[in-house]
């Protein structure tokens, strides 16, 4: 069976049977959407590449614990989201330390740039920069729910599985995220988000 035709679960079974090339096939299959997902949660594209690498490394290490009856992409999103949260906590500690010693980290001045991908092509550069900055500024739990449902196209049930909460919690967080964005963006920018949702 070619790796191209194999399901994710079949590829995982091949990896566990000692055929490491199957993991390369899994990475190729999932790396683009995973990058776009991670990019919404971290400050720079370099951070996103790092997190994607960390997520795949963790997935490799934990592959024996993956339940092949469940979607592989949901499992991978959970790993990646945990990596984003870890990085966010480390960055928050770094900012506090630097502010205590009177240094302002450059990373906090950077506005998230556009992730390359079809989801960004319909939006003009300035509007996208404002949209990305507004999404990045949302509280983490609201941002996660919005990114998973509106920008990644997951159902509320799928997003709930990634986040480990109920679909109702996802619905409320995404709603609150949209309300906050509506208060900070111009109507035109918010239409861009609706197109992406």
pLDDT score, position 75: 95
Last residue of a domain, which of 84, 110, 136? 110
Do residue 128 and residue 156 come from a single domain? yes
Mean pLDDT, consecutive 10-residue stretches, the chain (197 aa), reads 81 93 93 91 86 93 92 94 85 66 45 37 57 81 86 83 90 87 66 46
pLDDT score, position 96: 65
pTM: predicted TM-score of the whole model, two decimal places: 0.57
pLDDT score, position 67: 92
Do residue 121 and residue 87 come from a single domain? no
- Any idea what the CATH number is for the domain that residue 148 is in? 1.10.10.10
Rounded Cα–Cα distance for residues 6 and 50 (Å)? 27
pLDDT score, position 115: 39
Do residue 42 and residue 119 come from a single domain? no
pLDDT score, position 127: 63
Number of domains comprising the chain:
2
Last residue of a domain, which of 50, 75, 110? 110
pLDDT score, position 153: 75
Rounded Cα–Cα distance for residues 192 and 51 (Å)? 27
Do residue 96 and residue 186 come from a single domain? no
Q: b/e per residue, 125-149, with b = 16+ CB within 10 A?
A: eebbbbbbebbeebeeebbbbbbbb
What domain range includes position 22? 1-110
pLDDT score, position 101: 57
Do residue 3 and residue 77 come from a single domain? yes
Burial of 122 (0-12, 13-18, 19+ CB in 10 A): exposed
Q: Are 52 and 38 in contact (CB under 8 A)?
A: yes
Residue 162: strand, helix, or coil:
helix
Last residue of a domain, which of 56, 77, 110? 110
**Closest CA relative to residue 86, chosen from 126, 146, 38, 147:** 38
pLDDT score, position 2: 66
């Amino acid at each position: 069976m070619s790796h191209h035709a194999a399901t994710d679960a079949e590829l995982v079974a091949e990896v566990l049977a000692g055929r490491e090339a199957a993991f390369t096939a899994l990475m190729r299959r999932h790396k683009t959407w995973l990058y776009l997902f991670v990019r919404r949660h971290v400050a720079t594209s370099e951070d996103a590449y790092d997190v994607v690498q960390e997520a795949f490394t963790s997935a490799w290490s934990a592959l024996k614990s993956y339940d092949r009856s469940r979607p592989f992409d949901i499992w991978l999103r959970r790993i990646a989201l945990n990596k984003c949260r870890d990085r966010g906590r480390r960055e928050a500690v770094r900012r506090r330390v630097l502010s205590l010693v009177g240094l302002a980290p450059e990373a906090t001045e950077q506005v998230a740039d556009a992730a390359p991908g079809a989801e960004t092509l319909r939006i003009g550069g300035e509007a996208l920069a404002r949209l990305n900055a507004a999404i990045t500024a949302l509280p983490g739990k609201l941002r996660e729910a919005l990114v998973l449902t509106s920008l990644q196209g997951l159902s509320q049930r799928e997003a709930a599985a990634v986040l480990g909460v109920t679909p109702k919690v996802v619905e409320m967080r995404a709603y609150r995220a949209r309300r906050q964005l509506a208060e900070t963006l111009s109507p035109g920018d918010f239409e861009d988000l609706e197109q992406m949702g």
